[in-house]
Amino acid sequence: MAAAEEVKLFRNWSSPFGLRVVWALKLKGIEYDEELEDLSNKSPLLLQYNPVYKKIPVLVHNGKPICESLLIIEYLEETWKQTPLLPEDPHQRALARFWAKFGDEKVFETMRFGILLKQGKEQEEAIVSTIENLKYLEKELKGKKFFGGERPLDS
């Protein structure tokens, strides 16, 4: 990578999607600036960079925006080769991507839309599904610090 890279992350203080990008940046030792957004009053720049979803996080690299946290991490992985986050083996890579997708589509969704936003029977069902989904993750992580082992890149 050339010395004068401009990397800016638009996120807010609490979003797990923003934080996963922070972890990837830190694990790879990439220097970056941060723009903390108020999601009830989004900045014109955020809306310009992510006009489709209007969500954080957005990473802007040398003026070029990338949206969606998992795609941002894939971009970091392809652009900064140091400290690979994904295993080398294609099958292991596919598994890592599977669990990332599972986390977003099953675990986070049942928690946010089921437990937090629903009530009564629907909420009880969401609690059961969330526990079931978390058990899958726990089983995968058992005895390991990361899904990949001691470091995110170990397979």
Ligand X SMILES: N[C@@H](CCC(=O)N[C@@H](CS)C(=O)NCC(=O)O)C(=O)O
Please tell me the distance from the alpha carbon of residue 51 to that of residue 46, in angstroms, as a whole number.
8
Q: Considering beta carbons, is residue 105 or 154 the nearer one to ligand X? A: 105
Q: Rounded to the nearest whole angstrom, what is the least distance from the CB of residue 145 to ligand X in the complex?
A: 23
Q: Rounded to the nearest whole angstrom, what is the least distance from the CB of residue 3 to ligand X in the complex?
A: 29
Q: What angle do CA 90, 129, 141 make, to 5 degrees?
A: 40
Interacting residues with ligand X between 44 and 83 (CB under 6 A): 54-57, 68-70
Please tell me the distance from the alpha carbon of residue 50 to that of residue 112, in angstroms, as a whole number.
22
String of DSSP letters for 40-82: TS--HHHHHH-TTT--S-EEEETTEEEESHHHHHHHHHHH--S
The 109-148 contact track toward ligand X, x by CB under 6 A, reads ----------------------------------------
The 4-43 contact track toward ligand X, x by CB under 6 A, reads -----------x-x---------------------x----
Backbone angles phi, psi at 102, to 5 degrees: -60, -45
**Tokens matching residue 97:** 């991507």
Q: Considering beta carbons, is residue 17 or 102 the nearer one to ligand X? A: 17
Contact residues toward ligand X (CB under 6 A) are: 15, 17, 39, 54-57, 68-70
